[in-house]
């Protein structure tokens, strides 16, 4: 739907609920909604107008709360910010998660970090700051919060017990983590069971909460870039890119064509490497050692390729506001694509070998099923959503960089099981290679960066990271320092939906389902 049509329509239907409705740019609309009508209005937008819910951004301004709900439409590059708020002493807002379940965790997060209460939300508290370590009333994202003093004044609840839902004879909670397995990221699971079957799973996250959003406050753009790049190191390039795109929008800074093309090139290289890594961990989770080793060799090859090209195995330090920090001559891009073709060729051989291994397929077929409607209710993103025919990819849905100029497909699978997600990873690597091939064929010439100067303002930018859509919201204050940095991450959305895939499957399937989700804890915890 065209943005002015939507605004006109909303003005008629929601005359009494909206305080303002206007477009910020040809692609972005902003609606200011009365706090007590939020639930109805967002419901209309999401369920009747079929806009995707992307996430929520809470800001404490000098004298008021600004709460933004981000929606977007597929295919037409339309982003919508629904804004509500109130004076700082207002602590209670309407919950929209009653009708948009995907907002559930965002509201819990805001409650824990800002002390806001969302009326109608069934369960707030004990989310980011764990109750067994922290007392109530610690609100780290509030202005003036002193981390050092807070860390000294832990008052844990000694009587904390995990919540039990399952009340059946012989039911118990099987705790896993936070330190478990040989080399897993730190996360804790409560698996409720009466025997073989996992009835309910409750992932307890945020063991790795470092307060990235808080650290960024008051930093310069250059400093915050280091954070954006390093809070989720295995997808560093995509996150740094989203951050840079947001500040370039505030600037505004035009990125030279060559840099745009190279950004696509490296983003796709990162996607290939990331997907090969997930394939490796899926093989590993089923105990298929040779296949896991084969994939691990290819992952290392891809890492070395990145290091040869950009100096760093995980592409740190490459993307900067205004472009890239170094150039790459086109010949080397072509050589790299040729090398990558060899890697992908061997990966496809592995794919074929796996397809012919019935013992392997037995373990991932028809386990960890997510239906399309579940994927939509939870607004899952990335390969996890696309494995359940919820085909949502920002490169297509909200084209950025030059993605609308390249010929590629968004692979999609129907079954929603572990095998569908695995097939999707293989297919996406091939598509990434196809894009990189086109980039090198028509590489623009010229510089790779334009001068960038910081200016005040706020903007949001979306990027399809290897794990799915991310949105980075940046507000730069008058003094050029970051006032608010808010990354909305794909792992946060997908961890929310993990329980759907695990529940009612057997214990031994749990690590396999987890591997097929390809989740990152650090990206979620921030």
Partner 1 sequence: MNKWIEKGLRTGVVTTPYPKGRDEAAGISPGLPDAGAEVQDDNNTIASRCPTDALQPTDGPIKVDQRRCIHCFRCVRNAGEPFPWDSGFEWASLMSEASVFPPSFRRSLHIRVIDAGDCGACLNEVKLLNNPYYNMHRLGFFITPTPRQADVLLVIGPVADHMKIPLLKAYEAMPDPKRVMAVGVCALSGGVFRSGFIVGSGVSDLIPVDVEVPGCPPPPLAILHGLLVLAGRSEPHQFIEPANPVEGGVR
The token duo for 79 is 């982003």
Using alpha carbons, select from 36, 18, 144 the residue that is nearest to residue 81: 18
State which residue, 35 or 317, has the beta carbon closest to partner 1: 317
Q: Does residue 345 contact residue 337 with C-beta atoms inside 8 Å? A: no
Using alpha carbons, select from 253, 240, 250 the residue that is nearest to residue 478: 250
Name the minimum Å distance from CB 485 to partner 1.
13
State which residue, 12 or 151, has the beta carbon closest to partner 1: 151
Name the minimum Å distance from CB 193 to partner 1.
21
State which residue, 309 or 501, has the beta carbon closest to partner 1: 309
Name the minimum Å distance from CB 295 to partner 1.
9
Task: Measure Cα distances from 80 to 5, 30, 122, 336, 400 in Å.
Answer: 13, 6, 27, 39, 16
Cα angle at 441 between 438 and 443, to 5 degrees? 100
Name the minimum Å distance from CB 232 to partner 1.
6
DSSP-derived secondary structure letter, 197: B
CA 288 – CA 282 distance, rounded (Å):
9
The burial class, CB within 10 Å (0-12 / 13-18 / 19+), for 62 is: exposed
State which residue, 294 or 398, has the beta carbon closest to partner 1: 294
State which residue, 70 or 350, has the beta carbon closest to partner 1: 350
State which residue, 67 or 306, has the beta carbon closest to partner 1: 306
Name the minimum Å distance from CB 172 to partner 1.
22
State which residue, 78 or 305, has the beta carbon closest to partner 1: 305
Name the minimum Å distance from CB 508 to partner 1.
16
The token duo for 511 is 């690590």
Name the minimum Å distance from CB 170 to partner 1.
27
State which residue, 305 or 435, has the beta carbon closest to partner 1: 305
Name the minimum Å distance from CB 412 to partner 1.
27
Name the minimum Å distance from CB 304 to partner 1.
3
Helix (H, G, I), strand (E, B) or coil at 302: helix
Name the minimum Å distance from CB 473 to partner 1.
19
Name the minimum Å distance from CB 64 to partner 1.
26
Using alpha carbons, select from 92, 80, 106, 79 the residue that is nearest to residue 35: 92
State which residue, 80 or 187, has the beta carbon closest to partner 1: 187
The burial class, CB within 10 Å (0-12 / 13-18 / 19+), for 150 is: middle
**Beta-bridge mates of residue 200:** 192
State which residue, 31 or 114, has the beta carbon closest to partner 1: 114
Name the minimum Å distance from CB 481 to partner 1.
14
Using alpha carbons, select from 209, 67, 39, 82 the residue that is nearest to residue 138: 209
State which residue, 26 or 311, has the beta carbon closest to partner 1: 311
> Phi and psi at residue 268, in whole multiples of 5°?
-75, -35
CA 283 – CA 350 distance, rounded (Å):
11
Q: Does residue 490 contact residue 472 with C-beta atoms inside 8 Å? A: no
Beta strands in 330-408 (DSSP E): none
The token duo for 525 is 């915890």
Helix (H, G, I), strand (E, B) or coil at 407: coil
Name the minimum Å distance from CB 475 to partner 1.
19
The DSSP code sequence of 102-164 is GGHHHHHHHHHHH--EEET-S--SSSSS-TTT--TT--TTSTT--HHHHHHT----TT-----
Task: Measure Cα distances from 521 to 179, 232, 392, 394, 421 in Å.
Answer: 13, 9, 22, 22, 19
State which residue, 300 or 415, has the beta carbon closest to partner 1: 300
Beta strands in 275-416 (DSSP E): 319-320, 323-324
Q: Which spans of this chain sit near partner 1 (rule: CB under 8 A)?
A: 130, 133, 140, 147, 151, 178-186, 206-212, 214-215, 222-223, 226-227, 230-234, 236, 277, 288, 290-291, 293-294, 296-297, 299-300, 303-308, 311-314, 316-317, 325-326, 353, 356-357, 359, 520-523, 525
State which residue, 82 or 482, has the beta carbon closest to partner 1: 482
Peptide bond before residue 166 is cis, with ω within 30 degrees of 0: no
């Amino acid at each position: 739907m065209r943005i002015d049509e939507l605004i006109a329509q909303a003005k008629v239907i929601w005359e009494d609920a909206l305080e303002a409705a206007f477009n910020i740019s040809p692609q972005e609309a902003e609606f200011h909604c009365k706090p007590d009508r939020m639930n109805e209005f967002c419901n209309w937008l999401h369920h009747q107008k079929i806009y995707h819910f992307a996430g929520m951004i809470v800001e404490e301004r000098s004298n008021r709360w600004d709460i933004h709900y981000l929606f977007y439409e597929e295919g037409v590059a339309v982003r919508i910010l629904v804004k509500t708020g109130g004076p700082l002493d207002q602590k209670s807002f309407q919950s929209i998660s009653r009708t948009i379940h995907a907002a559930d965790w965002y509201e819990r997060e805001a409650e824990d970090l800002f002390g806001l209460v969302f009326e109608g939300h069934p369960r707030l508290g004990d989310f980011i700051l764990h109750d067994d370590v922290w007392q109530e009333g610690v609100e780290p994202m509030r202005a003036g919060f002193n981390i050092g003093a807070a860390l000294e004044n832990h008052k844990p609840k000694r009587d904390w017990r995990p919540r039990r839902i399952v009340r059946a004879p012989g039911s118990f909670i099987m705790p896993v983590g936070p330190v478990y397995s040989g080399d897993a990221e730190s996360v804790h699971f409560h698996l409720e069971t009466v025997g073989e079957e996992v009835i309910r799973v409750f992932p307890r996250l945020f063991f790795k909460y470092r307060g990235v959003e808080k650290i960024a406050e008051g930093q310069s753009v250059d400093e915050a870039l280091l954070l954006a790049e390093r809070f989720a190191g295995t997808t560093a390039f995509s996150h740094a890119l989203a951050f840079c795109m947001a500040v370039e929008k505030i600037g505004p800074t035009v990125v030279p064509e060559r840099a745009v093309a190279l950004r696509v090139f490296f983003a796709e290289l990162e996607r290939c490497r990331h997907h090969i890594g997930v394939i490796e961990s899926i093989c590993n989770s089923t105990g298929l050692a040779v296949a896991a080793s084969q994939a691990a060799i290819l992952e290392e090859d891809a890492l070395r390729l990145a290091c040869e090209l950009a100096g760093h195995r995980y592409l740190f330090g490459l993307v900067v506001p205004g472009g890239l920090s170094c150039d790459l001559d086109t010949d080397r891009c072509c050589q790299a694509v040729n090398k990558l073709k060899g890697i992908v060729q061997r990966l496809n051989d592995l794919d074929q070998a796996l397809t012919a291994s019935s013992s392997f397929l037995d373990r991932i077929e028809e386990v960890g099923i997510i239906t399309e409607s579940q994927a939509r209710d939870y607004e899952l993103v990335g390969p996890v959503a696309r494995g359940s025919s919820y085909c949502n990819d920002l490169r297509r849905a909200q084209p950025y960089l030059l993605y609308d100029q390249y010929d590629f497909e968004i692979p999609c699978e129907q079954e929603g099981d572990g095998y569908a997600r695995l097939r999707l990873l293989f297919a996406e690597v091939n598509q990434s290679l196809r894009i990189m091939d086109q980039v090198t064929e028509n590489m623009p010439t010229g510089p790779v960066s334009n001068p960038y100067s910081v200016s005040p303002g706020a903007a949001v930018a979306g990027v399809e990271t290897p794990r799915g859509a991310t949105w980075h919201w940046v507000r730069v204050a008058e003094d050029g320092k970051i006032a608010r940095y808010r990354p909305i991450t794909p792992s946060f959305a997908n961890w929310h939906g993990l329980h759907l895939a695990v529940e009612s499957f057997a214990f031994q399937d749990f690590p396999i389902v987890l591997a097929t989700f390809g989740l990152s804890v650090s990206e979620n915890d921030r």
